Structure 1
Amino acid sequence: MSEDFATCRLDRDAPRRRSRVAPKYRKTGYAEAFDDRTLWFDAIWDKGVVTLVCPRLNNLGSLVRTGTFTLDGRPAPMRLRTFYRHSLTRLKSPTLPQRVTFVAGNTQLETPVHEATPERFRGRNVIVTMSRNNDLVWIEDFARFHAQTQGAEGIVFVDNGSTDYEVGDLQRVLERAGLDALVLRTALTFGPRGRSPFGNTELFLQTCALNAVRLRYLQQARAVLCCDIDELVLSRTPASIFDATWQSRFGLTRFAGEWRYAPMPVEGDVVRHGDHGLRHLKKSACPAKWCVRPSGPLGDLQWRPHILEGFALNWAFRSSAFTYHHCRQITTGWKRDIALPEASRLVPTPTAREIAHGMRAAPRPRSALRPTGPVSVATTAVRRFGEVASRRFFGLRPALKAASLGLVAFIGLAAEEAIDNDPVSQEIAYLMQGFEN
């Protein structure tokens, strides 16, 4: 299977990534599903920097720090930043290089570098999802539902080694559903499931894929919705999820979901999203999903399936105006089993399509969403400066965020002192007294 990412894997005699999950929390088959060889998932050049999106390096971080990177043979200084499930290695390069090479001891590895191409999805409503061997009927239903009810215009579809069909088949059903489809392939393992509280700790692939496509294709999208093939997003107001996110001040909408079930189909039939007309009386809510405006104040944050990483206020952006139906029987067992709960615990409920039809959730024309009054050049400039400054701030390391806040507080205290002639030390004393009270 050919790959659409510039993926670099360590040789068999090279060092291996070690798991940071203790053996007692690993389920059967954990070691086989754990990715110990991928050094970086993709290499992307944009605005003078090559970013290597890596599965979390763990012990391989020392290998990367002591090794040498070159871009088309030129040495490239390296900066490394580690997140929960992935790491980013950044290399300065004023011009687009063709190749990135890494050397450490007897290890020498090389891949192409991809140039970021955000033009394709500029100003468009885009879904990003990952799938493996999901039925083409399910994929088409999923795409058509969001095109018709939420105004989705494009999709970045990451196929994780499907063997039941070809890329052309995926392209055809997605376009037939009304979406401009970019299908990308990777055959890397999805990752192992651990025992609580480490169930998802080392599921590297999806997080790497999300951030690679963010950097390569989606930085200029109007809004990006992250959801899976078994999830249908529903509005509880006339606004679509994309419109609400575009209009929100911070450009982020998060929303919880609900499990929905379908009767087991007759042998040979394919259960579909529209068959999910049952709900569990006591089933807890599904983890929140998100939609983000990449050009907004939070556009430089890292993407994970349920949160924006590095943002302490994810919880504050939960919206009751949206939900999603998590369709239990839309699965191949790729990520979970398909056993139904006891029938006595299931009660009839409207399907997602029925709810959407009742809401008349067809998206409003975009012209109706834009401000009708004139906006001054100064106002636009101030708004743009605020968004850029916010992007830079929220994208900083935690220590730099704290230092920045401290600097702003100090400047504020100094400015007030200049006005009222109180010493800065006295202002700090007042501030500390307030905290104590």
Structure 2
Amino acid sequence: MAIDIAQSDATIAASSPVLLSEAGSLRRLPLGPELERPQSFYERFDDRAVFYDVFRDHTGRHVYLIGPMALNLEPLIDAMTIEGRPSGRTAKPKIHHGVQAEILRVTLPPGDTHLAFSFGDERFEIPIQPNRSAALKGDRVIFTINKDNALAWIADWARFYVGEHGATAAVVYDNGSTEYNLEQLRAALAGVKGLEKFLVIPWPYPFGSMHDVFEGHKFGGHWGMFAQPPKYTQFFRKYAMQARSILNVDVDELVMSPFRKSVFKAVERSPFGLLRFNRVWVLNAREEGGPPRHRQFVIRKKGIAARDRGKKWALAPGRAFFASWRAQPWTHQVKGWLNLAGSSDRFYGYHFIGISHSWYWDRTEKIVFDPKLHVRDPLMIKTFADVFGPEPKQ
């Protein structure tokens, strides 16, 4: 059975969030706060979190403060002065207002276990979490954020990457699942044959909304994101710096190669330690009944019509010298990382419409196979047969 990393260190998944006081008046405001929005928008909007985590970098010299986009709180972040405890050393952090995320780095003595700062009328003293990269040293890691995806899907996801690509570890950020508890999620990962270790990280922050009436922002209606964007940098800097390679894939995404190559080996050999590749939509069409599974979906549109606009990426963190301190892994790219190689045509990220309990849109509409428009993908059929074996009889 796969080993739960948290069994040997119960605090390894802990974070140090900075939350505005419920009793205070200071809050993050949405863009266009005067606009009328549905209540669901505000239920998904994070108005209190300044940072989601505060932790040492892998060298021990610096401390990162990682949080969601500041919006109207940006001037207060720009004015911050950090005091290390117990040293009393004060310093101005370097600040990067990233893509829907705030990335701050401050240099503090290695003996400091807490930091303090003022934010508006509030004063915070926050424990500095240790760096956890040693727990994944030498591993090939898949990581994702999850909420209520079926446990069978999560197990199949991990099983696929172990069997097809040689993944050794899986990290799942759980965004407040209610269909099962964290122990059940851990049990599903523990049962994946060949997986060596895993870690489940509670990540209970509001996810955000991709549907909004504000149109003036560069992200258009997709700007209101919170839990997901900061998670990438937090994982990269806190957990992944000693990993052999990492792959950013959601439970509804399986990476395949026409040459049946490992994406981990490919990125480890790449000149800049960064590999990007296209995604392909897999349609919600299957012949089997019962609960859906990845291997039942093998139909896509023909030709370029199958392309999803988003890309996926893998990293070799040991090549971080190609990255600035404010490098930001993000959903479909890695900003601040030198990469002159462009996108690879040796891998495709198959994106399954029928394998998701989406945060945003209904994926339950089923497609009827049309030979004029669709094709049964031979690479998927062959790969699934090798990884999963024959489809169990109903």
Shorter-chain TM band:
0.7 to 0.9
Question: 1:140 corresponds to which residue?
Answer: 155
Structure 1 ranges of 4+ moved more than 4 A: 21-28, 264-267, 311-314, 357-360
Q: Give the gaps of 5 or more residues in structure 2.
A: 1-10, 388-394
- C-alpha deviation, 1:78, in angstroms: 2.2
- C-alpha deviation, 1:176, in angstroms: 1.8
Question: 2:73 corresponds to which residue?
Answer: 60
What TM-score, normalized by structure 1, do the two folds share? 0.74
1:49 is the counterpart of 2:62: yes
Question: 2:8 corresponds to which residue?
Answer: none
Q: How does 1:12-411 map to 2 (within 5 A)?
A: 12=22, 13-20=24-31, 29-46=40-57, 47-72=60-85, 74-79=88-93, 80-177=95-192, 178-179=194-195, 180-194=197-211, 197-263=219-285, 269-281=290-302, 282-296=305-319, 297-300=321-324, 301-311=327-337, 316-340=341-365, 342-343=367-368, 345=370, 347-350=374-377, 354-356=381-383
Q: Give the gaps of 5 or more residues in structure 1.
A: 361-437
Please state whether the residue corresponding to 1:115 is helix, strand or coil.
coil
Please state whether the residue corresponding to 2:311 is helix, strand or coil.
strand
Bigger Rg, structure 1 or 2: 1
Question: 1:395 corresponds to which residue?
Answer: none
Please state whether the residue corresponding to 2:71 is helix, strand or coil.
coil
- C-alpha deviation, 1:288, in angstroms: 0.6
User: Equivalents in 2 of 1:97, 1:75: separation in Å?
Assistant: 9
- C-alpha deviation, 1:255, in angstroms: 0.9
Question: Structure 1, residues 217-246: CA drift from partner, whole Å, max 9, x if none?
Answer: 101111110010001110122421000000
User: Equivalents in 1 of 2:318, 2:55: separation in Å?
Assistant: 18
Question: Structure 1, residues 355-397: CA drift from partner, whole Å, max 9, x if none?
Answer: 326899xxxxxxxxxxxxxxxxxxxxxxxxxxxxxxxxxxxxx
Of the structure 1 ranges 121-130 and 305-314, higher mean CA displacement relative to structure 2 is found in: 305-314
Aligned AA for 1:97? D
Question: Structure 1, residues 123-162: CA drift from partner, whole Å, max 9, x if none?
Answer: 2111111000111000000000010001111111101011
Question: Structure 1, residues 165-216: CA drift from partner, whole Å, max 9, x if none?
Answer: 2222222221321321011001111111135752332313211111111111
Aligned AA for 2:308? A
Aligned 8 A contact 1:25 1:198 in 2: no
What TM-score, normalized by structure 2, do the two folds share? 0.82
User: Equivalents in 2 of 1:193, 1:255: separation in Å?
Assistant: 24
Of the structure 1 ranges 159-168 and 101-110, higher mean CA displacement relative to structure 2 is found in: 101-110
Question: Structure 1, residues 36-85: CA drift from partner, whole Å, max 9, x if none?
Answer: 21110100112211110011222212223334432225243122221121
Aligned 8 A contact 1:56 1:82 in 2: yes
Two-structure CA RMSD over aligned residues (Å): 2.9
User: Equivalents in 2 of 1:254, 1:273: separation in Å?
Assistant: 23
User: Equivalents in 2 of 1:305, 1:163: separation in Å?
Assistant: 24
Of the structure 1 ranges 202-211 and 349-358, higher mean CA displacement relative to structure 2 is found in: 349-358
Identity %: 26
Do the aligned partners of residues 25 and 212 (structure 1) sit closer, same or farther apart at CA in structure 2, a change above 3 Å counting?
farther
Do the aligned partners of residues 235 and 26 (structure 1) sit closer, same or farther apart at CA in structure 2, a change above 3 Å counting?
farther
User: Equivalents in 2 of 1:354, 1:264: separation in Å?
Assistant: 12
User: Equivalents in 2 of 1:355, 1:28: separation in Å?
Assistant: 46
Do the aligned partners of residues 202 and 117 (structure 1) sit closer, same or farther apart at CA in structure 2, a change above 3 Å counting?
same
Question: Structure 1, residues 301-356: CA drift from partner, whole Å, max 9, x if none?
Answer: 21101100135858x52111000211111111323211426525563514765332
Question: 1:383 corresponds to which residue?
Answer: none
Aligned 8 A contact 2:286 2:297 in 1: no
User: Equivalents in 2 of 1:66, 1:254: separation in Å?
Assistant: 37
Aligned 8 A contact 2:258 2:379 in 1: no
Aligned residues: 358
Question: Structure 1, residues 406-427: CA drift from partner, whole Å, max 9, x if none?
Answer: xxxxxxxxxxxxxxxxxxxxxx
Aligned 8 A contact 1:275 1:351 in 2: no
Aligned AA for 2:199? L
